[in-house]
Amino acid sequence: MNPIKDHKGEPANPSTALAKRFHIGVAGLSCECCTFSPLLSGERDFMVSVGAELLANYGFFADYPDVDFTPLRRARALPGGPIEPAFYDRFKQQLRGELAAHAPWDGIYLDMHGAANVYGRDDVEGDMLAAIRAVVGPDCLIAASYDLHGNVSERVIDSLDILTAYRTAPHLDWLETQERACALLVRCLREGLAPSMAFLPVPILVPGEQSSTEFEPAAGLYATIPQVITDYQLLDASILIGYVWADEPRATGSVVAVGLDAARTRAAASDLAQQFWAVREQFQFGVTAGSVEECIQLARQTPSSPVVISDSGDNPTAGGAGDIPFVLARLLALGAEATLVAGIADAEAVTVCVQAGVGATISLPLGGKLDPIHGQPLLINGTVVSLHTVPWPANAKPGATVMPNRVAVINVQGVHVVITERRTPFHQMTDFTQLDLDPTHYKIVVVKMGYLVPEVDQMAKRALLALSPGAVNQDIEHLPFKRIQRPMFPMDRAM
């Protein structure tokens, strides 16, 4: 298939284009979907934004006084298992109706992640973008911002005019990436530019935990992007690490270049793809990684504290269920003290704690219910230390819809365990302090995370990555892949 796509619109006259007003629609879909997870993502998991609430996410739209932005709908969910087909079909149908109702369009901006999966289907973004293109027609410019852990396909590229992805992991540049996508879109409209894109899959899949741009090889690899843009006179370029826990044919690393000269754009993509391929052997965990037992022993031997252990196989922000009590079981078996486990999702257990009350003794099966394939409930006996109700999601922007999240902190043999009603990442210090917990007072803090996000990293005197069981198990060479393209690095090292 020809990887180059030329926009078919007639170039407008720049002098008249500047005086014109432009009509841009705003929509999006974000859910990183782990196909190894039995936990389907549906209505209860998605935050759907429409109208003024959706527009409120993009304050930078004010930079474009000549553009009328019309909010359509955006659905976002915490990473999880595949999306329920009925939810996606309804979302797509509503979006198509809104696109038709508010036509005609000069442009569409799509706030995407890129690694969604609808249960039993492939390439959901390809399907969604093709549906949008069918409504808006070939002359409307469509720009999308992606997570660098998104998986791209020919169908995605065929429907888009502009794709740009994050250049940092952790994703400190999420806002910058949205702004870049919109700036490119508006610039192309104002100047009547017809961008072409070059897309090259690179047969590499690395776990997200090895893709941090805080260390090599991703740091150096991503640092080359601005130079490649300059050298090849591009509009933009992206390197997508891809999402490994999605067993479908499009799952792979890739590069995308956006330019005005098709041949030069293709050459730039080839250059970036070769640079990506050249560093494949260098991807590694940025911190000491080991089995759960090894990490607990190492943490206990470390003189400074707290030592933060990432329970990486069950990381809810990568698609894990976030309810597997495996690390807690090992901590209790090894007699760990002064330890905080944050957290384990279990709505039933929270209800038991709430009904028992603070100070009460409780006995219950904890966790292992959302993901019974990779975990099992752990029978615990403890006391209820404190009860809370906090907003969920914790990082919601002002004005965004939030839901209540009941939380119980319990003490089990001297280990403090946070039980949450909803799947809850602990990424900010306020996630702890709002529960009256000071993580710096503990010897060991266990979080369900991969590489540590900045606030937790700053708090940690030492970080360890536990290769724990779960839907996003970091031992990717032994995942039961059936449908990804082969050969693929590192599964087929001899390729």
Residue with tokens 């992805």: 165
Residue 240: CB minimum distance to Zn ion, A: 10
Smallest separation, CB 50 to Zn ion (Å)? 25
Closest by alpha carbon to 190, among 60, 67, 63, 14? 14
CA separation for the pair 38, 371 (Å, rounded): 6
Nearest approach, Cβ of 116 to Zn ion (angstroms)? 13
Length of the chain: 495
**Residue among 116 and 329 whose Cβ is closer to Zn ion:** 116
Place of tokens 């474009």: 64
Q: Which two tokens stand for residue 392?
A: 């969920």
Map the footprint of Zn ion across residues 4-23, applying CB under 5 A. Answer: none
Smaller CB separation from Zn ion, 74 or 167: 167
Q: Output the smallest distance, CB 394 to Zn ion, in A.
A: 18
Considering only residues 464 to 493 of the shown chain, the ones binding Zn ion according to CB under 5 A are none
Q: Is the Cβ of residue 147 or residue 179 nearer to Zn ion in the bound state? A: 147
Query: Least distance (Å) from Zn ion to the CB of residue 203?
Result: 20
Tell me the β-bridge partners of 107. 24, 141
Count residues binding Zn ion (CB under 5 A).
2
- First and final C-alpha spacing in the chain: 23
Residue 250 makes contact with Zn ion by CB under 5 A: no
Per the structure block, which two tokens stand in for 56?
């409120």
Region 123-182 residues binding Zn ion, contact defined as CB under 5 A: 147, 149
- Which residue's Cβ has the minimum distance to Zn ion? 149
Supply the minimum distance, in Å, between the C-beta of residue 68 and Zn ion. 31
Among residues 127 and 147, whose Cβ is nearest to Zn ion? 147
DSSP letter (8 states) at residue 450: S
CB of 243 to Zn ion, least distance (A): 8
Contact 460, 311 (CB under 8 A): no
Query: Judged by CB, which is closer to Zn ion: 246, or 352?
Result: 246
Residue in this structure with the two tokens 């090895």, named with its chain if needed: 210
The nearest distance, CB 167 to Zn ion, in angstroms, is 12
How far apart are the C-alpha atoms of 170 and 211, rounded to whole Å?
Answer: 9
Looking at beta carbons only, is 116 or 340 nearer to Zn ion? 116
CA distance 281 to 274: 13
Residue 401: in which H helix or E strand, if any? none
Output 64 or 215, the one with its CB closest to Zn ion. Answer: 215
Nearer to Zn ion, 419 or 472 (CB): 472
The pair of three-digit structure tokens given for residue 126, joined into one six-digit string: 């390809």
**φ, ψ at 388 (rounded to 5°):** -145, 160
What are the C-alpha distances in Å from 431 to residues 348, 396, 407, 440?
Answer: 21, 12, 11, 13
Of 147 and 236, nearer to Zn ion (C-beta) is 147
90-129 mask for Zn ion (x: CB under 5 A)? ----------------------------------------
Give the shortest CB-147-to-Zn ion separation in angstroms: 4
The residue type at 341 = V
Asked if omega into 170 is within 30° of 0 (cis), the reply is yes
Fill in the amino acid letter for 320: G
Q: What whole-number distance in Å separates Cα of residue 473 and Cα of residue 478?
A: 9
Task: Report, in Å, the least distance between residue 287 CB and Zn ion.
Answer: 18
| DSSP bridge pairs for 384 | 410
Closer residue to Zn ion in complex, CB, 317/473: 317
Specify whether the CB–CB gap between 395 and 371 falls below 8 A. Answer: no
Residues that bind Zn ion (CB under 5 A): 147, 149
